[in-house]
Structure formats: C-alpha cells, structure tokens
Amino acid sequence: MRLVDETRLRQLLAQLKDGSITLDEAFDAVKHVPYAGLGYAHVDHHRALRQGLPEIILGEPKSAEQIAGIAGELLRAHQNVLITRLDSAKAEAVRARLPELVYVAQARIGTIELNPIPPRTGRVLVITGGTGDIPVAEEAMETLRMTGVAGERLYDVGVAGIHRVLAMRDSIEKADAAIVVAGMEGALASVVGGLAACPVIAVPTSVGYGAQLAGFTPLFSMLSSCASGVVVVNIDNGFGAAMAVHRILMTTARAAKG
C-alpha cells in the first residue's frame, strides 16, 4: 500500500488510530513519499497533496517504456494517470503494457482513471478561432476533464466572422474562466478579453500562413492585447491553459471555504 493523496492520508491515520493497522504497516505505506526513484525518473507522490492533481507525464520526449514505467508507478500509488503529447505509436506501445489506457488521438492525450474524478463547480469555456485550432483546444478539454471540470466548447468563432463570437456573448459573460485558442494574428483573445469579466487564458497556436511564424505572431499579439488582464501561455499549450484554470478554480474554492 502506498499513500499519495489527502484522502488516503486521512484514512491511514484513522486506521492507525483505531488499531486496524500497525505502526510498521503505516510506515510501509508512507516510506515512498515524497517520491519514488525509478532510475530514469523520480515520480513525485506529493504533487497531489500540494496541487490537487497527481504528476502529469509529458510523453513527447520519453520512450514508451519510460512512460509505461512512470504510469505504472502512479497506478501503484493509487493515482490517476494523465499523459500529454502522446503520439499514436507510443500510445499503442504503452497500452500493450497498460491495457486500461484510454487514448484521445486528437488531443494526443492518454489517461487511466483508477479513481472517480469528483466534479467541480465553475463554468469554463474553451473557444477557438478556427477549426485548425481544435487539437490544441481538445488538449485543454481533456486536461480539464481530468481535473473534474466539464468544459464547454465554442469552436470556430474567429474574428474573420466576428458575428460568430458576438452571438456567444451571453455565454462568455456568464463564464467563470475562458480559454481562447487562436492562430493567425491571435486577435480573438482581445475580443473575448473585452467581453468577459472572468479570467481569460490565451493560447497562441502554430496555425497560419507565412508571417504567422509558427505561432510567434499570435503570441506577440496576445502578449500585447489591449484587453487588460489577459494571461498568455506558450504556443500550442492547451495543457498549460487548462492547468492555469485548475489553479484558479482551486484557489477560488479554498477562498469560498474561508
């Protein structure tokens, strides 16, 4: 037995108090905290206690064997698994070792849900400028889902047909957070930032022609937004935007408890 989150920590202390486990058993449960060394990785078992989510696995630079090894350690520690930037070939190789892996190809995300994910309050919109931005938006959506947030999609409402986003004005005004995913010149973030009172997380994408510069043009545009308070993450980083929303909602919930 390995202890990794607040629920299991409280359960362990209660069992130790009522005598249903021994001191040695309790020690065995916590001896792998705060991390487990695998040789090629140190798996952070305190992440869920600190940040409300287990360690996330970035799949792109890792081999399938390394991904499966880290995921297996998280599962042994009774944690859910979220793997980002996972291509289909690696997903098949990981699934051969961990058959329970669920792979969402468009988002390039693999997940294993060992524990139920408690639903969280908060209305979060994921908005794209064009259809080409959807893969980055789906990375955000799948990450939000693993945090317990049921995001709402508002796709292909870019400023080339600004009436499309203006038609969504009521939804935008009622949102608790908005993730705006756009390529080309990235102007959609400023438009949404001007309509919304909630936190707006802008995600520049590498979608666009020539001088779009693989995402640098919308990145600079979003960083220079005339809508005050728009926050910008890195190019194509839907995962990072969703994690920013996760932190915002977690802090809001903590404040609400007093």
Q: Residue 134 maps to which CATH number? A: 3.40.50.1970
What pLDDT shows up at residue 42? 80
CB atoms within 10 A of CB 228: 7
76 in any annotated domain: yes
Kindly give, in sequence order, each residue whose CB lies less than 8 Å from that of residue 118, ignoring residues fewer than 6 positions away. Answer: 148
Tell me: do 144 and 99 sit in the same domain. no
**Omega within 30 of 0 (cis) for the link into 118:** no
Instruction: Indicate if 178 and 58 belong to the same structural domain.
Output: no
Is 206 among the domain residues?
A: yes
Q: Angle CA(109)–CA(115)–CA(116) in degrees, nearest 5?
A: 90
Name the nearest CA neighbour of 136 among 55, 241, 230. Answer: 241
C-alpha Rg value of the chain to the nearest Å: 20
91 and 154 inside one domain: no
Residue 81 belongs to some domain of the structure: yes
User: Which tokens belong to 255?
Assistant: 């404040």
Neighbouring residues of 61: CB distance < 8 A, sequence distance ≥ 6: none
Residues 60 and 86 in one domain: yes
H-assigned helices in 147-215: 163-166, 169-174, 188-195
HEC assignment per residue over 50-61: HHCCCCCEECCC
Cα torsion 125, 129, 131, 134 to 10°: value is: -40
Does residue 195 sit in the same domain as residue 104? no
* Residue 161 and residue 128 in contact, taking contact as beta carbons nearer than 8 Å: no
24 is in which domain, residue-wise?
6-112
CA dihedral sign of residues 254, 124, 197, 188: positive
Total domains in the fold of the chain: 2
Domain membership of residue 1 (yes or no) is no
Residue tagged 């209660």 (tokens):
14
Whether 243 and 152 share a structural domain: yes
Domain-embedded: residue 132: yes
DSSP per-residue codes, 107-142:
TTEEEE-SS--------EEEEESSGGGHHHHHHHHH
Residues 6+ away with beta carbon under 8 Å from 220 = none
pLDDT for res 6:
64
Per-residue confidence of the chain (258 residues) as pLDDT tens digits?
344 456 677 888 889 899 998 888 877 766 656 777 778 788 777 777 677 788 899 999 999 999 999 999 899 888 899 999 999 999 999 999 999 999 999 999 999 999 899 999 899 999 999 999 999 999 999 999 999 999 999 999 999 999 999 999 999 999 999 999 999 999 999 999 999 999 999 999 999 999 999 999 999 999 999 999 999 999 999 999 999 999 999 888 888 877
pLDDT of residue 146: 95
Question: CA 220 from chain center: how many Å?
Answer: 23
Q: Do 128 and 90 lie in a common domain?
A: no
Per the domain annotation, does 118 fall within a domain? Answer: no
pLDDT at 3: 45
Q: Is the dihedral of CA 152, 51, 248, 258 positive or negative?
A: positive
- The verdict on 229 and 128 lying in the same domain is yes
Q: pTM of the prediction?
A: 0.86
pLDDT at 32: 56
